[in-house]
Amino acid sequence: MRPQNLTPLFAQVTSLPGIGPRLGKLVEKLAGPLVVDLLWHLPFALVDRRHAPKVADAKAGEVATLTVTVERHLVPHSPRQPYRVWCEDESGRLCLTFFNGREDYLRKLLPPGEVRVASGKIEIYQGEVQMTHPDHVVPLDQRESILRVEPVYGLTAGITQKVAQKAISAAVGRAPDLPEWQDPAYLAQQHWPNWKSALEQAHAPADETDLLPQHPARARLAFDELLASQLAVALVRHHNRALAGRVTEGDGQLRKRALASLPFDLTSSQKAAVAEIAADLAKPERMVRLLQGDVGSGKTLVALLAMLIAVESGAQAALMAPTELLARQHFATIAPLADAAGVSFALLTGRDGQRQKKATLDGLAAGTLQLVVGTHALLQEDVEFADLALAVVDEQHRFGVHQRMALSSKSHAVDLLVMTATPIPRTLMLAAYGDLDVSKLTEKPAGRQPIDTRTIPLERIGEVVGAVGRMLATEARVYWVCPLIEESEEVDLANAEERYRLLGARFPGKVGLVHGRMKGPEREATMAAFAGGQLSILVATTVIEVGVDVPAATVMVIEHAERFGLAQLHQLRGRVGRGSAKSTCLLLYAQPLGETAKARLAIMRETEDGFRIAEEDLKLRGAGELLGTRQSGLPDMRLADLAAHAELLQAARDDARLVIDRDPDLMSPRGEALRALLYLFRRDDAVRTLRAG
């Protein structure tokens, strides 16, 4: 049950004064549907209205609060002219200017002969002091309410600062005094205020330093959010660990056969990852492990060896990929090794024919099929396993937690291995995947050459096309990537199609085009022609970012590289350098380059280490953008800035673990207070886990 004293915060925003159904929809778009959502909508700037000079002393460009007597209204003859209200004090005249001003409204607001207080930005127009659309106009007896430092909030179309300030102020007024959930020693050490004071201070900044993420009030609130997030993850993890698992151990025979068929040895980090996974599988608790490896670091091979352990123990294993292209590719990598090991395996996608699908489903249900690779099709009701021991999920951030769970619920106590080629910075790892143990693949497989990365201004595109022509003479294969411009598919497409036309005219019969709007079969046919060598140049939008494996491709040209994020550039570059030949990546950019774009391209030249690139990307772009928060399964942080609050995240993680060790059911007084914290940040699913446990 949610604590009673939080009820006012969980009312709809329309319960606040001045927020009717129409504004309610806009407020919901801005911050969320409930009063509590407004508490987390912190100001990003402030306006100091305490400066109150005489009219003659007001300077252009400054915000001033002037006390004046209304003299006369100048009503315009045409709607294109501004409505002017002349006012004065003993030092001079002030003109208040309104565009599209309604006479009845303005005469009521500014009655001639009366004293009014107007606050806004001062302009000097034709030698006269002017204020266009003042922010505030109030009678003299309300002057004090304006002479203050005012918080400035992010807005959405249809909501003014005044409306936002009033609603948020009312929301903060509803915040109850809550029992302290922070560790008293840590709270004292950080010199932080209590929760309610922190909230009030964060919404009433007095100067610029109050807006910094390190300010005690803001840091306290950020820590509350991080602690709620880490505690929720820790509770779910503790609960999952408490569920009975199964011991999965193999005799190593199948792995031995598969490895003997490889023309190379595993890298040391592949060996370490396999050992970590094997140790997890052998424990009676459930495994939930993340395998992080850069593009081309050999994750599929590690996954197959893990799957063979399950088969050696007499059970089955499944690998799920987010797209058919990726599923087919994993299947192609796994097939020769599974054959060498003498294991039965199949591919299951949504496009399988009825006969083929039935054979696969029958084999899985009977247990005669030991391994299966597939897409979301694996999650369908009619897919049943005789004994699924291990589920491997690829490109984890493309699946929600529910899909991850759906595959593991296909059998009793399924161990879970999730893989990602997106190198995730350590701070994000903690925030997003706190419930997972992590194995990292840090080396490239033997025989891979470094990629020569160069940056070239777009004006020299003619030279690049010439160089591509020379490369084609040596039978090289080339990717040519066009960007997403303004997030618009149309322009994006036109861009790629135009480039395809120009290159096709120069190299007839050798150029293919793939983009996100093509039908699957058409796209796959073009990819296959490129992989098979019938096409030498593949013009593409970013659809090739994940999982296209053409070892013969040695040149990657990225047009308008300045428009891509670092992680994306790194993923795209990883499409080449997959064979033993020397590879080149050309980053074409438009001048002039902004500072961030400059920094990005410099890092791409300096390093191929995906983990270092991810850390730099986090610094340059911030966490939300990095993984596209909405679809990444990342908790949506409103108060914590993962780049600025990295140390707090670590502290929150340690504190959460300590709480779970000492009080896993949150029954102590601090535990009770922490339950309120979980509700406050809508981590109630974690509280439900407590009850279900």
Give one DSSP letter per residue of 554-573, joined into a string. Answer: EEEEETTGGGS-HHHHHHHH
Q: Is the predicted pLDDT of residue 632 greater than 60, yes or no?
A: no
> What angle separates helix 216-242 from helix 684-692, to the nearest 10 degrees?
30
Helix, coil or strand: residue 68: strand
Outline where 261-367 has alpha helix (H). Answer: 268-281, 299-312, 324-341, 354-366
Domains of the chain: 4-45+167-208 (no CATH), 50-147 (2.40.50.140), 253-422 (3.40.50.300), 451-607 (3.40.50.300)
Read off the pLDDT band of 425 (50, 70, 90): low
431-460 confidence digits (pLDDT tens): 655 656 788 887 776 667 788 999 999 999
Query: Strand, helix or coil at 354?
Result: helix
Q: Of 498, 430, 503, nearest to 468 (Cα)?
A: 503
* Token couple for 661: 């060790």
Distance from C-alpha of 224 to C-alpha of 682, rounded to nearest angstrom: 12
Query: What local confidence, expressed as pLDDT, does residue 253 receive?
Result: 93
Which residues touch 259 (CB under 8 Å, ≥6 apart)? 266, 305
Q: What phi, psi does 366 have (nearest 5°)? A: -85, -20
273 pLDDT more than 50? yes
Instruction: Report CA-CA distances (Å) from 10 to 5, 14, 118, 567, 572.
Output: 10, 11, 37, 38, 45
Question: What token pair was written down for 248?
Answer: 């999965």
Percent of the chain clearing pLDDT 70 (strictly above): 88
The burial of 673, by beta-carbon neighbours within 10 Å (0-12 exposed, 13-18 middle, 19 or more buried), is given as middle
527 phi, psi to nearest 5 deg = -60, -45
pLDDT of residue 194: 96
Confidence of residue 372 (pLDDT cuts 50, 70, 90): very high
Taking a C-beta distance cutoff of 8 angstroms, is the pair 305, 274 a contact?
Answer: yes
Q: How long a stretch of residues is the chain? A: 693
- 362 to 331, 346, 354, 370, 374: CA distances (angstroms): 19, 12, 12, 12, 15
Average pLDDT over residues 397-417: 68
Q: CA 528, CA 304: separation in Å to the nearest integer? A: 24
- Tell me the C-alpha distance between 85 and 261, whole Å: 88
Neighbours of 195 (CB within 10 A): 23
Q: Which two tokens stand for residue 506?
A: 């120069």
Decide if 448 contacts 294 (C-beta within 8 A).
no
Q: Copy the structure tokens of residue 445.
A: 């497989």
How far is CA 590 from each of CA 455, 507, 585, 643, rounded to the nearest angstrom?
11, 25, 17, 29
DSSP of 618-631: HHHH-HHHHTTHHH
The tokens describing 377, both together, are: 């099709």
Determine the pLDDT at residue 429: 64
Q: Please list, in sequence order, all residues whose beta carbon lies within 8 angstroms of the beta carbon of residue 478, skipping any fewer than 6 positions away.
A: 468, 471, 472, 536, 537, 538, 553, 554, 555, 556, 557
Question: What are the φ and ψ backbone dihedral angles of 528, each rounded to 5 degrees?
Answer: -65, -40
From the CB of residue 26, how many other CB atoms can be counted at a distance below 10 Å? Answer: 18
User: Distance (Å, rounded) from C-alpha 485 to C-alpha 564?
Assistant: 10
Token pair for 112: 């001639």
How many Cβ atoms are within 10 Å of 408's Cβ, its own excluded? 20
Distance CA 135, CA 131 (A): 9
Q: For 544-572, what is the mean pLDDT?
A: 80
Q: Are 215 and 209 in contact (CB under 8 A)?
A: yes
Residue 376 banded pLDDT, cuts 50, 70, 90: confident
Write b or e for each residue in 420-432: b if 16 or more Cβ atoms lie within 10 A of its Cβ, otherwise e.
bbbbbbebbbbbb
Of the ranges 412-416, 462-466, 591-595, 613-617, which is most confident?
462-466
Whether the Cβ atoms of residue 436 and residue 568 lie closer than 8 Å to each other: no
CA 109 to chain centre: 46
Q: pTM to 2 decimals?
A: 0.63
Q: Which pLDDT tens digit goes with each residue over 25-71?
A: 999 888 889 999 999 999 999 999 999 999 999 999 999 999 999 99
